[in-house]
């Protein structure tokens, strides 16, 4: 059908389509979102732009509140309580959802290839292709085994809701097996030896949860075998929780010592068999093997195969992690964005832009900066180059003016050479953002907000050096705000590291932890469920059926 511009029928026939200023229907841009985790869910919740046709593809039809996942492993919290079905959000927003996994991205044809869960009874419906105009990669990452032999086959991971339930069943199973008659003491010891690999936040929290379960519940339920239990925590580096403040690391290591958790630092796992786990001690180079009942592997994350393949296609094959710019656009591929654990931001170096920054500040083109010139761009520099702030903080300087002073003495007139010299060390402070829910959800929110004003922004995108105040609709680059981190250490004690070097450890931070996580839960439904789980645990103890 062809309508003339003046055709009155046209408006009626297309009453629900969006029309452009000439009255022509606009084809909505198709946005395909891969993933329903922290970043994907946050993006979808904040997206409010009727001009997009939004399609979501994820193998799981729920959002998972991962910070409480370790508490599921011992039954403190039920798995059901920390998942939020996404169908509700889809309906509310008018988005479409397909329960499938993207197995291949065809960037040059703007297509993705998807596969629904295996075991679908209708042949031929399990695979399908989708086109996109804009693709949002929010697929997260997978546990990294570093290709250590036997890990995939014999160890448990703690990443998804199923993983936590599997661990819970397996722990209880170990106790039931160890309680059977006709076992030697050695055999019982082996079955009840729990090994945790990785001293990061997840491994540490899981060890603590397991320990609480052993002392608080197992003592009552399986008193006969309690004496045979042992937890070993293996860490390849010198310390556990090395991303935290030293005071927290020290406290955690001491607490684990007191609790009888066997913490072995400097030991790298080199292999796992059905019965034994082998580690190489860094100092002696000796390989030691120990029998175990259960191994939980938590040594960090790596890229998913679909992302690795995509990186090959777009010329990022040499990289370890997919790179985006500060606007979260995948480098080397138009129309594709990446969020959360899927990617890292390729932060710009101050030194690359130094001449441009200088010219920007030097309004009168005098070749020198005075204090006033300088103040006008300082805020933007700090915003655009987060490493500047980190550098100032590390060197206990109040602001860049002080930095210039420390480099150039009292001379407040700065030329380009002096400017360079003063900022020459700053880039050494460049750091990738951590792979956390905090980062992922902020990125999802940021990108949704950009998309909400996309029409305005597309006409005036902001280049790397256009600073604030040059047009209201330009995108600001993504900037992370750190609200602090927690490390639950068991026994109702938590370590908290809050902005401004504030460290707090103990029972009071445990209550802070309870309230922060309760408030971060995405719905009142899950909040109610989790709080009632916590209450049930306080009153009745944990459930030990498997
Ligand atoms: P995810 O949340 O992992 O979401 C990925 C989504 O993509 C999932 O829905 C998945 O099903 C889907 N998907 C996977 N493959 C495909 C595919 N091929 N196609 C389509 N969809 C796909 N962070 C904190 O800040 N604080 C904490 O206390 C904390 N505790 C944690 C505890 C545990 C046990 C774990 C495992 C993580 C914890 N994290 C914590 C880290 C945090 O969970 C991650 O950083 C965060 O989930 C990253 O978000 P994401 O959106 O990138 O990925
Ligand atoms: Mg996600
Ligand atoms: Mg998640
Ligand atoms: Mg996850
Ligand atoms: Mg990331």
Residue 14's pLDDT band, with cuts at 50, 70 and 90, is very low
- Is 3.30.565 the CATH classification of the domain at 350-429? no
On whether the CB atoms of residues 217 and 541 are closer than 8 A, the answer is yes
Ligand 1 center from residue 278 Cα (angstroms): 29
pLDDT, average across residues 498-509: 84
pLDDT, average across residues 200-209: 95
- Kindly state the percentage of the chain with pLDDT values over 90: 56
Atom of ligand 1 nearest to the CA of 35: 7
Neighbours of ion ligand 3 (CB under 5 A): 37-38, 64, 66
Residue 341's closest CA among 64, 137, 161? 137
Find where tokens 């929780």 sit. 241
Mutation test of ligand 1: which of 32, 33, 35 has the most ligand atoms closer than 8 Å to its C-beta?
35
What phi and psi values does residue 66 have, to the nearest 5 degrees? -60, -35
Q: Where are the domain boundaries for CATH 1.10.238 in the chain?
A: 350-429
Residue 409's pLDDT band, with cuts at 50, 70 and 90, is low
CATH number of 15-141+303-343: 3.50.50.60
Q: Where are the domain boundaries for CATH 3.50.50.60 in the chain?
A: 15-141+303-343
Is the pLDDT score of 238 beyond 90? yes
The chain-wide mean pLDDT, for the chain, equals 87
| Strand ranges, E, within 66-159 | 83-85, 96-106, 111-116, 127-131, 134-137, 142-143, 156-157
Rounded CA separation 461/454 (Å) = 9
Among the CATH numbers 3.50.50.100, 1.10.3720.10, 3.40.50.720, 2.40.110.10, which is that of 151-302+483-540?
3.50.50.100
Question: Atom 53, ligand 1: which residue's CA is nearest?
Answer: 140
| 35 in contact with ligand 1, CB cutoff 6 A | yes
| 440 in contact with ligand 1, CB cutoff 6 A | yes
Quote the pLDDT of residue 20.
66
Atom of ligand 1 nearest to the CA of 341: 52
Per-residue model confidence as pLDDT tens digits over 258-277: 999 999 999 999 999 999 99
Quote the pLDDT of residue 109.
96
Quote the pLDDT of residue 164.
96
On whether the CB atoms of residues 258 and 215 are closer than 8 A, the answer is no
| 39 in contact with ligand 1, CB cutoff 6 A | yes
3-state SS, one letter per residue, for 210-262: HHHHHHHHHHHHCCCCHHHCEEEEEECCCCCCCCCCHHHHHHHHHHHHHHCCE
């Amino acid at each position: 059908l062809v309508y003339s511009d003046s055709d009155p029928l046209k408006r009626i026939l297309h009453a629900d389509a969006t029309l452009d200023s000439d009255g022509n229907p606009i084809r909505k841009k198709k946005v395909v979102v891969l993933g329903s985790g922290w970043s994907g869910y946050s993006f979808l919740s904040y997206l409010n732009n009727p001009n997009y046709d939004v399609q979501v593809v994820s193998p799981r039809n729920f959002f998972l509140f991962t910070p409480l996942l370790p508490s599921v492993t011992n039954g403190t919290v039920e798995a059901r309580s920390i998942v939020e079905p996404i169908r509700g959000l889809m309906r509310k927003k008018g988005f479409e959802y397909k329960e499938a996994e993207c197995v291949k991205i065809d960037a040059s044809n703007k297509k993705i290839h998807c596969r629904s869960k295996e075991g679908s009874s209708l042949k031929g419906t399990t695979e399908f292709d989708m086109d996109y105009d804009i693709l949002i990669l929010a697929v997260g990452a997978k546990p990294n085994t570093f290709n250590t032999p036997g890990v995939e086959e014999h160890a448990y991971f703690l990443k998804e809701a199923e993983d936590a339930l599997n661990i819970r069943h397996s722990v209880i199973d170990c106790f039931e097996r160890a309680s059977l008659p006709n076992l030697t003491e050695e055999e019982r010891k082996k079955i009840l030896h729990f090994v945790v690999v990785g001293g990061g936040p997840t491994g540490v929290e899981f060890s603590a949860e397991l320990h609480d379960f052993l002392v608080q519940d197992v003592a009552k339920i399986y008193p006969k075998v309690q004496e045979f239990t042992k937890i070993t925590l293996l860490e390849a580096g010198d310390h556990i929780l090395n991303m935290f403040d030293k005071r927290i690391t020290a406290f955690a290591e001491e607490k684990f010592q007191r609790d009888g958790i066997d913490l072995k630092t400097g030991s790298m796992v080199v292999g796992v068999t059905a019965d034994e786990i082998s580690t190489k001690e860094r100092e002696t180079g000796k390989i030691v093997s120990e029998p175990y009942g259960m191994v939980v592997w938590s040594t960090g994350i790596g890229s998913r195969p679909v992302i690795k393949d995509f990186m090959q296609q777009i010329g990022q094959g040499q990289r370890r992690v997919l790179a985006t710019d500060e606007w979260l656009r995948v480098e080397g591929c138009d129309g594709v964005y990446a969020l959360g654990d899927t990617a890292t931001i390729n932060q710009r170096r101050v030194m690359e832009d130094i001449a441009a920054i200088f010219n920007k500040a030097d309004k009168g083109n005098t070749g020198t900066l005075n204090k006033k010139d300088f103040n006008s761009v300082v805020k933007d520099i700090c915003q655009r180059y987060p490493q500047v702030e980190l550098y100032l903080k590390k060197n206990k300087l109040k602001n860049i003016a002080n930095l210039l002073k420390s480099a150039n003495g009292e001379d407040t007139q700065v030329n380009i050479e002096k400017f360079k010299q003063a900022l020459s060390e700053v880039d050494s402070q460049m750091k990738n953002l951590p792979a956390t829910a905090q980062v992922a959800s902020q990125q999802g929110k940021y990108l949704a907000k950009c998309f909400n004003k996309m029409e305005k922004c597309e006409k005036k995108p902001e280049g790397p050096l256009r600073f604030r105040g040059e047009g209201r609709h330009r995108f600001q680059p993504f900037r992370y705000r750190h609200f602090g981190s927690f490390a639950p250490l068991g026994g109702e004690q938590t370590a908290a590291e809050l902005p401004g070097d504030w460290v707090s450890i103990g029972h009071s931070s445990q209550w802070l932890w309870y309230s922060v996580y309760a408030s971060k839960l995405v719905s009142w439904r899950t909040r109610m469920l989790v709080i009632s789980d916590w209450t049930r645990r306080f009153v009745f103890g944990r459930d030990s059926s498997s």
